[in-house]
């Protein structure tokens, strides 16, 4: 006997989100993508077929939750001293209300779609990108491997 998944299929997920006051509309930026928004935050969902499932496709994130700015889901950028909202056009410091909206949206979306809620993400808003200015430019630097068994200076 096959086991039924307790997670809803893609169409059922969209109906559940609509019933909980989410705005659900097609998204042209991703093939088969659906923009889901609420509280000034948004994410893009797509239908994916589970590897071991034979039934309907389930919802998965194509674009992670972020602030909704001019119809675009902005990325959250952490520079160590400040979080920023980054779109294709501009980059602005994130306000506390934007961070709270993204966090509330993310938690509600996970709960309704049956996604896994991780402890560190439940504590607060996590960023998409971490860029610390004191480390900028070190990406390409290679450290020469050393042999721990050799003593320097020939002794």
Give the pLDDT confidence of 65-118 residue by residue, as tens digits: 999 998 889 988 888 788 899 988 989 999 999 999 999 999 999 888 877 777
User: Quick check: pTM over 0.85?
Assistant: no
Specify whether the CB–CB gap between 55 and 9 falls below 8 A.
Answer: yes
CA-nearest of 89, 61, 57, 93 to 76 is: 93
For 62, phi and psi rounded to 5 degrees?
A: -95, -35
Which two tokens mark 21?
């006051």
CA distance 72 to 40: 11
Q: At 9, which helix (H) or strand (E)? A: none
Per the prediction, the chain carries an average pLDDT of 79
State pLDDT tens for residues 11-55.
Answer: 888 999 999 999 999 998 888 899 999 999 999 999 887 666 566
CA distance 38 to 24: 9
């Amino acid at each position: 006997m096959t086991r039924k998944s307790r997670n809803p299929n893609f169409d059922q997920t969209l109906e559940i989100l609509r019933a909980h006051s989410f705005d659900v509309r097609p998204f042209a930026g991703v093939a088969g993508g659906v923009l889901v928004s609420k509280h000034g935050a948004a994410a893009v969902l797509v239908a994916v077929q589970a590897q071991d499932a034979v039934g309907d496709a389930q919802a998965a994130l194509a674009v992670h939750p972020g602030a909704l700015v001019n119809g675009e889901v902005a990325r959250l950028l952490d520079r160590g001293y400040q979080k920023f909202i980054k779109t294709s056009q501009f980059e602005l410091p994130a306000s506390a209300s934007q961070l709270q909206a993204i966090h509330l949206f993310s938690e509600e979306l996970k709960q309704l779609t049956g996604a896994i809620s991780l402890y560190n993400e439940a504590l607060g808003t996590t960023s998409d990108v971490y860029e610390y200015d004191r480390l900028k430019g070190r990406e390409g630097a290679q450290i020469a491997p050393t042999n721990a068994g050799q003593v320097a200076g020939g002794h």
